[in-house]
Amino acid sequence: MIPQDFLTFFAASLTADGALIGLLFVAISIEPQHTFGDDAALERQLAANSAFSGLFNAFLVSMLALIPRLHIGWGIIVIAVLSLVNVSVHTIDKLRRGQRAYGRSLTYTIGGLAVYGLEIVYSVQLIRRPGDIGAVYGLIFVLVAQYGFALIRSWTLLGATERRSIVFVLIDFIRRRRAQTQVTAAHSEHPSIPPV
């Protein structure tokens, strides 16, 4: 049973999630052949599946949380297990097709497994101690992580590449700053002698 103080969060989560799922459908429906067609890139298919799975999972969890006097632990475990199976099946399918789980896909797969695994852990805590505030907060942070993953994957669907992501921009900035610092340090160690 979710304490009354958290119902506003889950109601807002449900509303936002419904809007995000609708936007995801619109983004895919503009050119569905690029995502689900025979010649569609596998990365796009995985991004669409990952985004939808995360949003759908958060939608169902938020909906369960709003049902009065319902002990939601078992329901969330079922949802999380189905999400884990979905992530695993799509990853295995990618490997079966000869696609290696390179950087970004592997990161999202591991992230999905971790998020859904944590969802199960917090659900078990809620089964043992209904209304456990710590488990509810843990579940909330898991939902926020799911929204983050889903939004990043949706961004990929819109054609954003890794080089346009905020992470790449920050890493590039840090590399340039480090290179500037090394050049400045090299010049200060060996100052040029002015001509006489």
* Cβ atoms of 46 and 150 closer than 8 Å: no
Average pLDDT over residues 139-150: 90
* Cβ atoms of 118 and 142 closer than 8 Å: yes
Per residue in 157-166, pLDDT (tens digit) is 776 555 555 5
Higher pLDDT, 195 or 54: 54
13/60 Cα distance (integer angstroms): 10
Identity of residue 82: L
Average pLDDT over residues 125-149: 91
* Helix, strand, coil percent values for the chain (each to nearest 5): 80, 0, 20
Q: Is the pLDDT of residue 51 over 60?
A: yes
The per-residue pLDDT for 193 is 58
Q: Give how far the C-alpha of residue 168 lies from the chain's centroid of Cα atoms, to the nearest Å.
A: 17
Token pair belonging to 163: 């080089």
Backbone angles phi, psi at 110, to 5 degrees: -65, -40
Q: How confident is the model at residue 136 (pLDDT cuts 50, 70, 90)?
A: very high
Q: Is the pLDDT of residue 60 over 80?
A: yes
Average pLDDT over residues 48-60: 89
- Of how many residues is the chain composed? 196
Which pTM does this prediction carry? 0.74
Domains of the chain, by residue range, sit at 4-161
Average pLDDT over residues 157-178: 66
Higher pLDDT, 155 or 8: 8
* Cβ atoms of 46 and 90 closer than 8 Å: yes
Q: Give how far the C-alpha of residue 176 lies from the chain's centroid of Cα atoms, to the nearest Å.
A: 28
The per-residue pLDDT for 101 is 46
- Taking phi first (over 0 means left), then psi (-120 to 50 degrees means alpha), and beta for anything else, what does residue 131 get? left
